[in-house]
Amino acid sequence: MLLPLSLLFVGAVLTLNGLWMMNRIADREIVVINLATAFITATVAILSMAGADTPQAVKGAALTLLFSLTYLWVGMNRLTGSDGRGLGWFSLFVAISVLPEAIATLRHAPDAMALWLGLCWIGWAGLWLLYFLLLALRWPLERTTAAATLASGVLTAWLPALAMLYA
């Protein structure tokens, strides 16, 4: 029920973070959308957990919190001037943690929406892997990661959120 809300802000933050990585938005300015999205998605996850009566509902909240913490960390890194290595290692943890969700969703996809979601999980796992390679291992993938972040924002979150909100 709250999925379109979360997706809209995830779309905004990923799109804007992609633009920020392309040097189109200043470090200090990108903090706002990252912290706002962290708060919004964490609130959605907490509300979902409060009403959770199945392990599946708890899993959904836990996976959402992985996004929330990522955006909180990006915002805090920009405020503190941290180099992002910790976020890079957390990104590896997240990339590995969401792969079972991607595989299970794709394996049991009963319809096009579930198939789309499984492909999104694959895309998000790949994106978090890029953040690990860029931030923790310092591979020179700035342009690739920026483009992947921007594309992910538009294709996996922003457009689907608009479709859900206006359906």
What are the tens digits of pLDDT across the range 17-29? 999 999 999 999 9
Per-residue pLDDT, 117: 92
Helix, strand, coil fractions of the chain, as percent rounded to 5: 85, 0, 15
pLDDT digits (tens, 9 = 90+) for 114-159: 999 999 999 999 999 999 999 999 999 999 999 999 999 999 999 9
Residue 17: which residues within 8 A CB-CB, separation 6 or more? 30, 33, 34, 74, 149, 153
pLDDT digits (tens, 9 = 90+) for 32-69: 999 999 999 999 999 999 988 999 999 999 999 999 99
Q: How confident is the model at residue 167 (pLDDT cuts 50, 70, 90)?
A: confident
CB–CB of 65/100 below 8 Å?
no
Is 80 exceeded by the pLDDT of residue 84?
Answer: yes
Per-residue pLDDT, 118: 95
Q: Using N-to-C axis directions, what is the helix angle for 55-80 and 27-50, rounded to 10°? A: 160
Output the pTM of the full model: 0.95
CA atoms of 152 and 134, how far apart (whole Å)? 17
Is 80 exceeded by the pLDDT of residue 1?
Answer: no
Mean pLDDT of the chain: 96
